[in-house]
């Protein structure tokens, strides 16, 4: 896979996570809970699209990483976050950083899971074949 393909997958993962919810309020969740009473069908269609994307991306991530790699990557990122808070790079009392950290953590985990099979094929030369579940 070339760089544009890798970059587009990473960008799609970050757009998916940040369009679902973000602290700024420009997201699907904040749009869903507005009391305007209109556009209910558009809200349902957007929610169904986001749900389908999450099902697809999470399935690919699970097949590529499995639980052991997900736990290892999660522990590394959480320990890095706690180290940055301990050193003083991040304010420990600010929920702004904590919410963005969770969004970036999940989007990074999702993008690594989506790109893992392609990166593994480039490094080792082995292709990963997905077989249907029993």
Report percent pLDDT > 70 for the chain.
Answer: 92
User: What is the reported pTM?
Assistant: 0.83
CA distance 66 to 74: 12
pLDDT at residue 104, rounded to an integer: 92
Q: What is the pLDDT along the chain (134 residues), one digit of tens a residue?
A: 688 888 999 999 999 999 999 988 899 999 998 877 778 889 999 999 999 999 999 999 998 898 999 999 999 988 988 898 889 888 777 776 678 888 999 999 999 999 988 888 788 877 666 666 65
Q: Among all chains, which residue has been given the structure tokens 């522990």?
A: 75
CA distance 111 to 68: 17
Domain residue spans of the chain = 3-124
The string of pLDDT tens digits covering residues 14-33 is 999 999 999 888 999 999 98
- Residue 90 CB neighbours (<10 A): 18
Orientation of helix 95-124 relative to helix 3-20, angle to 10°: 150
pLDDT at residue 14, rounded to an integer: 97
């Amino acid at each position: 896979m070339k760089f544009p393909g890798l970059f587009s997958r990473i960008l799609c993962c970050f757009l998916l996570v940040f369009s679902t919810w973000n602290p700024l309020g420009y997201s699907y969740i904040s749009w869903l809970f507005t009391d305007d009473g209109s556009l209910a069908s558009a809200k349902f269609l957007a929610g169904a699209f986001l749900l389908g994307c999450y099902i697809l991306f999470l399935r690919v991530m699970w097949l590529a990483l499995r639980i052991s790699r997900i736990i290892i990557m999660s522990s590394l990122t959480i320990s890095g976050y706690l180290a940055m808070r301990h050193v003083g790079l991040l304010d420990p009392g600010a929920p702004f950083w904590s919410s963005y950290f969770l969004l970036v953590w999940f989007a990074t985990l999702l993008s690594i899971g989506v790109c893992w099979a392609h990166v593994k094929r480039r490094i080792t030369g082995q292709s990963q074949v997905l077989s249907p579940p029993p």
